[in-house]
């Protein structure tokens, strides 16, 4: 089969191949590439096309398969890109060290609080007791516990603020 015969053979369905490729691949450039690939494959079969009942159906099947392969490989590429953009949510060593240092400072500050405030902040913020339970254990009114807790937290916050501002002017 010469080139003129081939062109006459594919002309009736060449636009259909392109439209199918465009529908599957969306991008015009990719659809043009797909159409060209399918036509090259058909041309490479040269005289062996006579065995097919419908060359158009064969070309459309080739187009569909080629486009699906392209989409599959693109999806795999996208997964790799997403995978390389994966960000570990685990804090880094520096952040862990800062947190440990802050925790040590909070413990030192809490040790300097009056006994009652130290007990209340320990029971409420660390042990997660309810105000009602703390009031019963310490034989105090809930309002007094709230005031003492507020003062204890303010003291810790003020010391921590000073500690973190140290050396920064």
Which of 77-81, 98-102, 115-119, 152-156 ranks highest by mean pLDDT? 152-156
Pick the CATH number of 93-162 from 1.10.1380.10, 3.30.450.20, 1.10.10.10, 1.20.950.20: 1.10.10.10
For the ranges 35-44, 76-85, 111-120, the lowest mean pLDDT is seen at 76-85
Q: What is the pLDDT of residues 112-166, one digit of tens each?
A: 999 899 889 888 988 888 999 999 888 999 999 999 999 999 999 998 888 777 6
55, pLDDT greater than 50: yes
Question: For the chain, what are the domain ranges?
Answer: 3-84, 93-162
Quickly tell me which residue has 């159906």 as its tokens: 57
- Please, are residues 123 and 77 in contact by the beta-carbon 8 Å criterion? no
- CATH architecture of the domain with range 3-84: Orthogonal Bundle (1.10)
3-state secondary structure of 122: helix
Share of the chain above pLDDT 90, in %: 25
Backbone angles phi, psi at 90, to 5 degrees: -70, 130
Backbone angles phi, psi at 22, to 5 degrees: -65, -40
- Please, are residues 143 and 151 in contact by the beta-carbon 8 Å criterion? no
Q: pLDDT: is 21 or 163 the higher one?
A: 21
pTM over 0.85: no
87, pLDDT greater than 50: yes
Provide the b/e sequence for 24-53 (b: ≥16 CB within 10 Å): bbeeeebbeebbebbbeebeebeeebeeee
């Amino acid at each position: 089969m010469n080139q003129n015969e081939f062109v006459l053979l594919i002309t009736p369905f060449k636009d259909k191949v392109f439209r199918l490729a465009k529908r599957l691949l969306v991008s015009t450039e990719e659809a043009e590439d797909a159409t060209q690939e399918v036509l090259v494959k058909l041309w490479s079969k040269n005289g062996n096309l006579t065995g097919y009942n419908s060359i158009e159906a064969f070309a459309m099947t080739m187009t569909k398969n080629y486009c699906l392969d392209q989409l599959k490989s693109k999806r795999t590429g996208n997964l790799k890109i997403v995978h390389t953009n994966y960000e570990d949510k685990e804090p880094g060593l520096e952040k862990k060290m800062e947190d440990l240092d802050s925790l040590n400072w909070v413990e030192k500050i809490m040790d300097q609080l009056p006994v009652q405030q130290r007990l209340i902040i320990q029971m409420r913020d660390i042990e997660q007791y309810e105000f009602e339970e703390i009031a019963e254990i310490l034989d105090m009114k809930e309002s007094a516990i709230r005031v003492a807790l507020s003062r204890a937290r303010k003291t810790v916050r003020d010391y921590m603020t000073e500690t973190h501002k140290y050396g920064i002017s």
